[in-house]
Amino acid sequence: MAKTDEETFIYLATYANEAAARDDYQVVKDLHGEGLVGSYDAAVVTKDANGKVHENKDETATRHGAWGGIAAGAVLGVIFPPAVLASAAVGGVIGSVGGHLAKGMSRSKVKELGDFIDPGQAGLVVIGELKVKEAIEKAVTRAEKETAEELGVAPEDIDRVLQEALKGL
């Protein structure tokens, strides 16, 4: 499959603490405010000493595009099993979108992303259009380590799956 600017990516960065992750989260929001970033969703997560992942999301500030704040939750549901994910609802809508996103990643890649954040660390998870990946990678400066995975899924496909899932509610 040929790569296009219309595909979707997942960006994951790790931080020593939640404050540093929130600072870079604000940078991503500011990029959107300046018109430099299109549709995306983002969340700050922490992994406690027991390995449980907690989503710490500013719901209203991250609702960009048609994704309505659900895409980051869906990504978290894919890369962190429900037994590890402490705070996100793994409901029908998130499950539908997450299932669609998972098709773009191998099981080994999903496991690698799930292990990317160590206990005691914070993370920033961004899902967005591939064309904004480079801007985010340049703007996020506080991360200890970072990775990005192109999914081979078009943003409009995520929109379609989301709309179908919402109709079922």
In which residue are the tokens 């979707």 written?
8
The pTM of this model reads: 0.79
What does each C-alpha distance from 105 to 28, 50, 80, 109, 150 come to in angstroms? 24, 26, 14, 6, 9
Angle 107-114/71-79 helices, nearest 10 degrees? 100
Residues 56-112 pLDDT 10s: 765 444 444 555 567 777 777 777 766 556 554 445 555 556 666 666 677 788 888
Q: Which of 2-11, 18-27, 34-43 has the highest mean pLDDT?
A: 18-27
For residues 47 and 121, the answer to whether their CB atoms sit within 8 Å is: yes
Element (H, E) at 125: strand 122-129
Residues 111-137 pLDDT 10s: 888 889 999 999 999 888 877 788 888
pLDDT of residue 58: 57
